[in-house]
């Protein structure tokens, strides 16, 4: 696996990683998370997987929608796993939430495990074809997959920044939709806030 340098947002590490995750749990990321979740058809019994769960704030938001369901988070940063468990300690203790260390390209779950899978601000760092096939594998036939990104590849400054961050690719809406279709998804909806660059894509397994 590629080594990720300290301070990189892909894999928060050490005390600086905890500080980064704390910042990412609020601010513009809070607004983005609430906006993306609003497009999901969530039933109160759904089983949800949040891939690249970071500091765990979106897990907490999703838990609020599934009082009779379950939310699982996965992240390949041990610091993120610890922060997410702390942020959702009550739900973890109650058995309504699990948070695991793992990789989007090798999801440690059986086929057809989840009603919903979410990916907030994380597809920038994925091996996209491999990870999307994994998401398709663990989703139930009528399940929903949400990709929600703050940047849609339309801002030259963001693109320039991404070229200087190892392992980061800011995908355009067209590129993401094409990759999703190639992985076996049907696009259900594409939502955007062009002035902010925000992008949400909802897809389902074909």
d(CA 121, CA 24): 10
Number of other residues whose CB lies within 10 A of the CB of residue 166: 12
Across 35-193, the runs of DSSP E, i.e. the strands, are 47-51, 70-75, 97-101, 114-120, 139-149, 185-193
β-bridge partners, 51:
74
pLDDT at 178 over 80: yes
pLDDT at 121 over 50: yes
Per residue in 181-194, pLDDT tens?
999 999 999 999 98
Per residue in 6-62, pLDDT tens?
444 545 455 554 445 555 555 668 899 999 999 999 999 999 999 999 999 999 999
Lowest average pLDDT, out of 64-73, 102-111, 117-126, 162-171, goes to 162-171
Per residue in 140-154, pLDDT tens?
999 999 999 998 877
Residue that is written with structure tokens 């301070």 in the block: 7
């Amino acid at each position: 696996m590629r080594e990720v340098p300290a301070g990189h947002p892909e894999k928060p590490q050490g005390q600086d990683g905890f500080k980064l995750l704390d910042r990412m749990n609020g601010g513009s990321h809070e607004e983005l998370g609430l906006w993306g979740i609003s497009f999901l058809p969530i039933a109160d019994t759904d089983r949800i997987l949040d891939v690249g769960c970071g500091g765990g704030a979106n897990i907490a938001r999703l838990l609020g929608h599934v009082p009779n369901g379950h939310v699982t988070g996965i992240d390949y940063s041990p610091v993120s796993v610890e922060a997410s468990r702390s942020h959702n300690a009550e739900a973890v203790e109650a058995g309504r939430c699990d948070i695991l260390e793992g990789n989007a390209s090798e999801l440690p779950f059986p086929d057809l495990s989840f009603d919903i899978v979410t990916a907030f601000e994380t597809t920038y760092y994925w091996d996209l074809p491999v990870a999307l096939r994994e998401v398709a594998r663990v989703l139930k036939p009528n399940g929903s997959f949400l990709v929600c990104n703050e940047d849609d590849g339309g801002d030259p400054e963001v693109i320039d920044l991404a070229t200087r961050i190892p392992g980061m690719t800011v995908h355009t809406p067209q590129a993401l939709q094409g990759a999703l279709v190639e992985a076996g998804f049907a696009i259900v909806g594409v939502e955007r806030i062009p002035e902010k660059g925000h992008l949400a894509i909802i897809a389902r397994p074909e």
